[in-house]
Amino acid sequence: MIASAPCLTSLQTPALILDERKMQRNIGRLADHLSPKGVTLRPHLKTVKSTEIARRLLTGGFGPATVSTLAEAEVFAGMGVRDITYAVGITPQKLDRVAAIRAGGCDLTVILDSVEQASAVVEACQRLGQTIPALIELDCDGHRSGVCAGDPVLIEIGNILHKGAELRGVLTHAGESYEVYGKPAHTKFAEQERSAAVRAAEMLRSAGLPCPVVSIGSTPTAHAIENTEGITEVRAGVYAFFDLVQAGIGVCDVDDIALSVLTTVIGHQREKGWIITDAGWMALSQDRGTASQKVDQGYGVVCDQAGNVMTDLIVIKTNQEHGIIACRTDSKAALPDLPLGTLLRILPNHACAVAAQYSAYHVIPSEPAAPVKVWPRFGGW
């Protein structure tokens, strides 16, 4: 479909562009998939880091939510979100800050996977006169952190939390689902994720411990899950924007990608077949998440100003402030004539990494002919 060009010509480049219509379509797609399954969707706000977008992602605009930094927890609690999971393993030094957020009226839950972390949470509860809830993180696929579902340390951790803090439940993340292609493969990972979480929950309950929350989630498995028996909630984050990695594993189409970087042609190296732009790795990030996929998208797929993909063109190389566009190595196409000053848009490999480079979204509104909006974005930890 050929889009009409939004009014982006007045923007200084590089600039972060968000297509509101595509974003809303993406948000609705996952909500529609999970709603009939009787589980809660707990969106991860690490990708968006924006109160404007959070209001569109969250149920009623106020939660539940997942975050990956305490800065996110503070900002979103400040806008009225009252149920947040901080889904990165807690450290003792952060517990006073957690307690301050909770004292402000937000039910902030931490996660952990060791006896040492559980003991630190209990110590903080005693010292601060608060009851801090915690989820035990599970390793369902060898991807990252977590306790294996059948490991006896699960009970040891659970007992420490139950006696001195609050054992809220279990949480896992199928990060290895990013390494396989297609819905059938992602459905298998979703079941692996679900069965590990349910097994751990049953182990805790059999030991006389509470486990009200059974939380799973990744963007690929959230879109593919069919069996939700025994789980209470699903988490996902990048689905609001999508990106080339998600397209490369079959979770979305390239046309679903709502985020792009606006850049300007600043020069040419015609003998090399290069077009030079002002969007280098500071604008596009150095994420090369598609490099191991069937189609290597370089540092991003090139679109015209209106967002229409320019077949065969990718960003093949980046310096700090320079991007180099060329035809794919297997392309027979001629390099297009793009004069100095031409505006282009680059679709990102990893939406989270690219968005992190910017302080605001320039939003192409859903309403036809409406002016571009600016939504602030924050960063930090």
pTM: 0.95
Q: Could you tell me which residues come within 8 angstroms of residue 11 by beta carbon, excluding any fewer than 6 positions away?
A: 262, 362, 372
Integer CA distances (angstroms), 155 to 118, 133, 202, in order: 12, 16, 11
Q: 183-206 and 153-164 are packed helices; what angle lies between their axes, rounded to 10 degrees?
A: 60
Q: What is the pLDDT of residue 7?
A: 79
Cα 104–chain centre separation: 26
Residue 275 in contact with residue 326, Cβ under 8 Å? yes
Strand 147-148 to 133-139 pairing? parallel
Q: What is the pLDDT of residue 1?
A: 37
The rounded radius of gyration (Å) of the Cα atoms in the chain is 22
Q: What is the pLDDT of residue 368?
A: 85
Tokens of 172: 């896992």
Instruction: Assess whether the previous peptide bond of 368 is cis (omega < 30° from 0).
Output: no
> What spatial distance separates the first Cα and last Cα of the chain, rounded to whole Å?
40
Integer CA distances (angstroms), 274 to 63, 287, 327, 335, in order: 47, 21, 8, 8
Q: What is the pLDDT of residue 4?
A: 47
Residuewise pLDDT in 10s, the chain (381 residues): 344 445 799 999 999 999 999 999 999 999 999 999 999 999 999 999 999 999 999 988 888 999 999 999 999 999 999 999 999 999 999 999 999 999 999 999 999 999 999 999 999 999 999 999 999 999 999 988 999 999 999 999 999 999 999 999 999 999 999 999 999 999 999 999 999 999 999 999 999 999 999 999 999 999 999 999 999 999 999 999 999 999 999 999 999 999 999 999 999 999 999 999 999 999 999 999 999 999 999 999 999 999 999 989 999 999 999 999 999 999 989 999 999 999 999 999 999 999 999 999 999 999 988 999 999 999 999
Helices (H), 229-331: 244-248, 281-284
CA distance 168 to 43: 18
Q: What is the pLDDT of residue 62?
A: 84
CA distance 150 to 132: 25
What domains can be seen in the chain, in order of their start residue? Answer: 45-236 (3.20.20.10), 250-376 (2.40.37.20)
